[in-house]
Each structure stands twice: as C-alpha cells, then as structure tokens.
Structure 1
C-alpha cells in the first residue's frame, strides 16, 4: 500500500482508531507466505501489466490488512459494547452488516445502487425484493453522521426514546458516539472508503424501528442495519 501511494502520488489516510487507508488501492486475495506479519490473509496489487507484490509493504505496515468477507462477523463483535449501551429494560438494540458482495459489473447511478442492494439481499436468505431506487446521499460519508446521530441523539439512544436525559449520562452518550465511529472505521478498514451510500428498504426483522444504509466502496457493497426491537 505504501509503494502504491508513493507510485501514484496518493496520500495515506488514517483513522483515529489506528487503521490506514489509501484511496484507489485495488486488492485481491493472494496466498499466505510463511513469515508474513499479515496473519489473516495475504494481498497482491493488480495494476494492468505491471504486477508487483505488496506483501513486503504490508509487512512493514503495523496494521494488518483485513479480509472484506470477514466484515459482517467483525462488525457484529465490535458492535456488542455499543448495543449494550443502547439496550434498556424494554428494548434491545441490534447493529450488523448484511452480506458483502463485489461491485464489479454493476451499472453506476440509481439503478446500479438498487442492483447492488438487491445483490446484497440475494446473497442471504431473506428473499427481499428492492422495489424502489436507492438515492445516494449528497456526501458519500453521510452514513457515518447518520449512524452516529442515531446512537447519540436519535431513537437508538434510550435517553431519547424515553425523553429522559437522565437515563444515560453524558459520558455514556459520548461513549456511544465513539463506539459508533469505531464500528464505521472497522467497516472501511475491511471494505475501503465508502464512495456512495444511501437509504434502502429491507426485510422486516421484527424491529419496532430500524434503518438500512447501503454502503458502496470501490470494490465491495454491503448494507448496515441498526434497529430497536421490544
């Protein structure tokens, strides 16, 4: 990744949770090499006819690259402390990703977003049909603000559900926001920077309130779902 950033004069970006990103860095799964620091999977860069292996660059990096297909399990585990802060005696919070699917071969625009959302649902067993276009948010990163606001100021936050500011302390509300940021960082650490996002309908999972956000990166698409059930 460092070699790619230097070669194409693209800066590295980092999140406050310690993950590193490089816009446009294309990855594919490669073979693990004995002695590599990357223990989950190895990576190779594909750049037309100019192929060069980035294992050594990854070895120099302190943060191992993450497998996109592991994102749902990783997010479910990381979201548990946040869900605990959002639960109350009558309601249970849920935060998770649907399946991750490749974006290759899809058409850009509204129809492409709808097609990607359908592909995500088709990868599971819900059988849900997306019947309306998915309008992308004006800012690709708007999903982060929406997610954070819902867990700190919206219906996901118990203090807002009961209109009782004393139900959660300011420290707990701030912690919920920080945990939401951490979940968002983890998603992009697995899938790359989100380049397009938007609200999408979805199957009814028994929640009394829920929201589904389609997230699309350069190579992958998934749907982040967060909701409250009683």
Structure 2
C-alpha cells in the first residue's frame, strides 16, 4: 500500500493569515494531490479529498471570481472532480461538477463548451427516473447559451433538436420561454424581450446565472439597435 505524503494527511488552513485566499488555494491543491494517492487505495477517501478541494476553491471563487484566471482554475478543479466521479460511476456527483464547469465556462463566454455539457447531461438523464425531472432545466440552460451567441438560426435549430430529444419539452414553460425570446431577438424588439423575461420570472424566478445571461443578450440587442440608428 502506498504511503500517503504528509501534505495529504495534514492539511492546515491558516485562516487568520494575511494571505487567506492563497493559503486556501494551497490547501485545495493539497487535497487534490491527496486524492490522487487515495484513489489507489481508498476511493471513498479520494472522493472526500477531491470534494474538499472543490469546496475550498468555491470559497476562494466567491471572493475572487471577478478574475478570469480564477474561473479557469475553478473549471479545472471541477473537470477533475467530474472525471473522478464518472470513473467511479457516481453519476449524480459527476453531473453536479460538470454543471459547475458549464456555469463557469458560460461566464467566460465559452458557450459551445457549456452547451455541450448541458445537452449531454440532459440526454443521459432522460433514461434515469431520478434524473429526468431536471432535463427541461438543462435544456433551458443550453438554450440560453445559444441565445447569448446572438444567432437566431442557432437557437431555432437547438429548439427543434431539444423537442426531438424530449417530446415532453414542447409543452413546457421553458420551451415557450426560449421560443418567445428567440422571436423577440429575431424582431429586434427589446420591449418584447423584456416583457417575456418579466412574465417568466413572475412564474419561475430567475437565478443570478440566468439573469446574467439574459442581460448579455439584451445588451447585444441594444447595441444592434444603436448601430442601426447610426446608419439611418
């Protein structure tokens, strides 16, 4: 049995140090390193270490997420965790980590990467009675990333694909929301776009991620309107 390094057995976090964020970052790295060793002898402990690394990084992220390199690091941590959980066939945990990757990737405007993750999870969830309830939410998130690309053809094609993938999606509030937003974008109607968002939010409150994505779309609509005004 491989002996674990001291850093993987004792991982002090000097929370009162002046470089609190840096020390937590070191601790997260130590936990991630420990997970590599534990994976060979104790998968449960490996999962625990990796989860601690991710959780610590989340704490750091809440303080420093304005910096894109921090988000890049968060993506790396979550991708490692997702791969580990997937290899251990812990699907729910793997999905949770991948959803974080999608969330952070979309923040960096890596929309194709986020779309693929949301669509893959939706597709795999359809065959699982415990997970299929979340399919419409994953498809909604993927659709919103399409909207951020400001490509009406892209979102229209995506909606057709999603309805083929899950026929029940057609009658959902989420599907109608995406369709109405796409129509407003196609018509370059900011007022209509705003009303569609308000109506949906009154029934299903939007979280901060969705709000951020929708604001990006709205800003692009405004910019396009101003550009056209300058040409007239």
Same fold (TM over 0.5): no
Identify, as 1 or 2, the structure richer in strand.
Answer: 1
Q: TM-score range by the shorter chain?
A: under 0.3
Question: TM-score, with normalisation over the residues of structure 1?
Answer: 0.27
Structure number with larger C-alpha Rg: 2
Question: TM-score, with normalisation over the residues of structure 2?
Answer: 0.27
Identify, as 1 or 2, the structure richer in helix.
Answer: 2
